[in-house]
Amino acid sequence: MSELDEKDRAIIRLLQTDARMPASEIAEKIGMPENTVRFRIKRLVERGVIRGFVAIVDPRRIGLNVSAAFMIKLDPSHREEAIGELKNWDEILNIYQFSGEYDLIAVAFARDLASLQNLIDRVKRVGGVREVNVLVTTRVIKSQPTYILE
How far is Cα 83 from Cα 15, in angstroms, rounded to an integer?
31
- Quote the mean pLDDT of the chain: 94
| pLDDT of 17 above 70 | yes
Q: Which pLDDT band holds residue 144 (cuts at 50, 70, 90)?
A: confident
What number does CATH give the domain 59-136? 3.30.70.920
- In the β-sheet with 129-136, what is the strand arrangement from edge to edge? 92-97, 104-110, 66-74, 129-136
Indicate the fold that domain 6-46 takes in CATH.
Arc Repressor Mutant, subunit A (1.10.10)
Q: Which pLDDT band holds residue 2 (cuts at 50, 70, 90)?
A: low
How far is Cα 33 from Cα 7, in angstroms, rounded to an integer?
12
pLDDT in tens, 59-100: 999 999 999 999 999 999 999 999 999 999 999 999 999 999
> What pTM, to 2 d.p., does this model score?
0.82
| pLDDT of 1 above 60 | no
Domain-wise residue ranges, the chain: 6-46, 59-136
How far is Cα 112 from Cα 65, in angstroms, rounded to an integer?
6
